[in-house]
Amino acid sequence: MAIKYVIFDWDDTLADTTRLIERFKTSRNFTKILNKHGVNITFARFKTALLKTTKEINKIKKRRILRFLDWTDLFFQHAGIKTSLRKKIKLTKLFRNYALDNLRLRKGALPLLRFLKKKNVKIILITNGFRLRIVRELKKLKIKKYFHKLYFADRSRKKSTLIPFKKFMRKSLFLGKIKSEECIMIGDDPVEDLAAKQLGITSILIETKRFQNHSALKYADYYAKDLYDVKKLIRGLL
């Protein structure tokens, strides 16, 4: 059956989220911004707190959806700084705006999206990420127009606990009346790619700094070094 849909994850698949975190760690600008807003923190302390926060976030986000305020809470805990909720909300907006201004697409993302659009392949986003944040990022990066459908794990749930990705993906395909054999899934998480593979979707696991493992074919049908590799693979699959 012909491929009609290509499904993307967001963070570290199309969006270069790891690069954004690295930028946070190496830039003294945000420390200065915090100092201006009454948060007395050194650059060394900021880096340590950021590293601990990132590690904890990576563990938590597999279980539940995180808002920017959750991120701010964890950061101040690890920095050992006590502040009011009102100030946390204000500083959360600073974090969010700084992140939005500095987020970039992964190299090769835009040519890949344009290629798929030209081939009349429908592009779908399926992600466990927080909907409001990602929609804001899609608009800022001017790529929302490329997507046929957006599916978010938090869309129809009252609770923040994540449902298993396989169940979430199956439900998304059902809602869109999409047949698994018509799809290619591209992601950076082995567990999510394996879920797609088990549903009968052709899966491509893309390399990130977090996952560089050539045993990847246990989890996915194909393994790609970057989005340029992904484009070559898809060209051969269409």
Determine how many CB atoms are found less than 10 A away from the CB of residue 191.
12
pLDDT band for position 156 (cuts 50, 70, 90) = very low
128 and 59 both lie in a single domain = no
Residues 91 and 132 both lie in one domain? no
What domain range includes position 137?
Answer: 5-16+105-237
Q: Please tell me whether residues 110 and 155 are part of one structural domain.
A: yes
Q: What is the pLDDT of residue 54?
A: 81
The 10s digit of each residue's pLDDT in 65-78 is 667 777 888 888 88
The residues pairing with 75 across neighbouring beta strands, listed in sequence order, are: none
Structure-token pair, residue 118: 């030209």
Count Cβ neighbours within 10 Å for each residue of 80-105 and write b for 16 or more, e otherwise. ebeeeeeebeebbebbbebbeeebeb
Residues 76 and 153 in one domain: no
User: Do 36 and 126 fall within a single domain?
Assistant: no
| Domain limit, last residue, from 80, 102, 124 | 102
Q: In what order do the strands lie in the sheet with 222-224?
A: 147-152, 122-127, 5-8, 183-187, 202-206, 222-224
69 and 183 both lie in a single domain: no
| Domain boundary pick from 102, 137, 167 | 102
Predicted structure pTM score: 0.82
Q: Mark whether 89 and 146 lie in a shared domain.
A: no
Q: What is the pLDDT of residue 184?
A: 94
44-68 pLDDT, tens digit each: 888 888 888 888 877 766 666 667 7
Q: Is the pLDDT of residue 36 over 90?
A: no
Q: What is the pLDDT of residue 111?
A: 96
Asked if the model's pLDDT at residue 233 lies above 60, the reply is yes
Q: Reply yes or no on whether the pLDDT at 1 is more than 90.
A: no
Stretch among 97-106, 124-133, 157-166 having the lowest mean pLDDT: 157-166
- What are phi and psi for residue 8, nearest 5 degrees? -115, 145
Q: Please state the domain count of the chain.
A: 2
Domain limit, last residue, from 83, 102, 121: 102
Confidence grade of residue 163 (pLDDT, cut at 50, 70, 90): low
Do both 27 and 76 map to the same domain? yes
**How high does pLDDT run on average in the chain?**
83
Same domain, 67 and 164: no
CATH number at residue 166: 3.40.50.1000
pLDDT value of position 19: 85
- Considering the domain architecture, whether residues 78 and 115 belong to the same structural domain is answered as no
Question: Does one domain contain both 21 and 117?
Answer: no
Q: Does residue 82 sit in the same domain as residue 63?
A: yes
